[in-house]
């Protein structure tokens, strides 16, 4: 007796069904393993091609138009930046999924036939490293993937599978099939790596967007990829970070690297990116510090932030502003309380 092949939808139904067989059975390691194997077996749809854009002499970008993951964009919310050197291609953040990384590989091949020889992950939020899977799948498990030690620790720990699951949920399973592939090469602040005719310098100046944000300077191009410590026109997640820490990071980075093109993981870069986004952050942080000093309650502090001209100037056009400004004002207020008391 023959059976028709199971559709992706039916596989999903079977996988989901294994968790509904009863508390005793669903809790067994065998059932959990079966469900995980099904999930690994099924892959989401491919990500449509996005033509690479050259943004510096050696540097190209695969641009993410959207700032947040949805089923429609299949999770594509962060830029993938790559550096073409005489020794091969170096990728600065690999994307949000297996499918995003596979698209990036297709697009890199439209620019050069050189292989990818290294990846640098800026931090542990999954939209910047879940694409590691695609590159290892294509270029081998020995592919060097660099990150700060704390980032490696977080991806190997709870953050890795958490981000994988979140991305699947946010995209209605479009990123299924993506595996957690953690960086395998720890880096330190100040280290340099030379790939043929290009030198990359590592920068890290403490807690900013997260406790372990790596910025990568392409020395010959006076270009620095800053990950998520600054954004062009999107309000940044700072749940794991620090307002004053970010501002101190900007000062230290600018002093060390000098005049640069600063390029973010979300949006487009410029020579004024750190100044522009820093102005916005100060518009949140400084009113909260003032409110805490004067014992003004949080609700009134939020009004002070919204009325600050540095914030008001960005309110109409900044992606995610309305849904996030209250939360991040609360975080700034709490951090100000901790700093002052």
Q: Which two tokens stand for residue 270?
A: 């410029």
Q: Say how many C-beta atoms besides its own lie within 10 A of residue 298's C-beta.
A: 15
For tokens 């951090």, the residue is: 335
pTM for this entry: 0.88
In the chain, CATH 3.60.15.30 sits at 53-231
DSSP state of 116: E
Residues near 335 by beta carbon (within 8 Å), at least 6 away in sequence: 242, 243, 244, 288
Residue-wise pLDDT tens for the chain (341 aa)?
Answer: 444 444 444 444 444 444 444 445 555 666 665 555 555 558 999 999 999 999 999 999 999 998 889 999 999 999 999 999 999 999 999 999 999 999 999 999 999 999 999 999 999 999 999 999 999 999 999 999 999 999 999 999 999 999 999 999 999 999 999 999 999 999 999 999 999 999 999 999 999 999 999 999 999 999 999 999 999 999 888 999 999 999 999 999 999 999 999 999 999 999 999 999 999 999 999 999 999 999 999 999 999 999 999 999 999 999 999 999 999 999 999 999 999 87
Domain 53-231 has CATH 3.60.15.30: yes
Nearest to 291 by CA among 302, 306, 279: 302
Q: Which long-range contacts (CB under 8 A, 24 or more apart) does 185-193 make?
A: 185/144, 185/145, 185/146, 185/147, 186/146, 186/147, 186/148, 186/149, 186/152, 187/120, 187/146, 187/147, 187/148, 187/214, 188/148, 192/219, 193/118, 193/146
Residue pair 281/246 in contact (Cβ under 8 Å)? The answer is yes
> Strand pairing partners for 89?
84, 116
Closest by CA to 266, choosing from 210, 239, 228, is 228
């Amino acid at each position: 007796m023959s059976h028709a092949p199971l559709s992706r939808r039916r596989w999903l139904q079977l996988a989901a069904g294994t968790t509904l067989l009863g508390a005793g059975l669903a809790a067994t390691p065998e059932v959990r393993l079966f469900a995980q194997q099904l999930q690994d077996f099924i892959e989401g749809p491919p990500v449509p091609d996005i033509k690479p854009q050259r943004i510096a002499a050696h540097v190209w970008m695969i641009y993410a138009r959207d700032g947040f993951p949805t089923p429609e964009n299949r999770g594509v919310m962060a830029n993938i930046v790559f550096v073409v050197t005489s020794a091969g291609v170096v990728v600065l953040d690999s994307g949000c999924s297996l499918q995003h990384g596979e698209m990036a590989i297709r697009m890199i091949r439209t620019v050069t036939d050189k292989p990818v020889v290294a990846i640098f992950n800026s931090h542990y939020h999954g939209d910047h490293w879940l694409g590691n899977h695609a590159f290892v799948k294509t270029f081998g498990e020995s592919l060097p993937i660099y990150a700060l030690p704390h980032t490696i620790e977080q991806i190997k720990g709870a953050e890795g599978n958490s981000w994988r699951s979140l991305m699947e949920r946010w995209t209605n399973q479009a990123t299924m099939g993506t595996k957690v592939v953690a960086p395998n090469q720890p880096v330190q602040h100040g280290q340099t790596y030379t790939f043929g005719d290009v030198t990359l310098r590592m920068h890290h100046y403490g807690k900013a967007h997260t406790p372990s944000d790596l910025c990568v300077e392409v020395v010959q191009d006076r270009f620095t990829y800053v990950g998520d410590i600054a954004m062009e026109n999107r309000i940044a997640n700072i749940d794991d970070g620090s307002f004053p820490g970010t501002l101190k990071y900007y000062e230290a980075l600018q002093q060390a690297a000098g005049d640069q093109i600063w390029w973010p993981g979300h949006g487009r870069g410029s020579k004024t990116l750190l100044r522009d986004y820093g102005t916005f952050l100060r518009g949140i942080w400084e009113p909260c510090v003032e409110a805490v000093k004067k014992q003004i309650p949080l609700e009134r502090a939020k009004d002070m932030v919204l009325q600050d001209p540095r914030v008001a100037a960005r309110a109409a056009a900044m992606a995610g502003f309305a849904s996030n400004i209250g939360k991040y004002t609360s975080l700034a207020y709490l951090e100000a309380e901790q700093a002052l008391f």
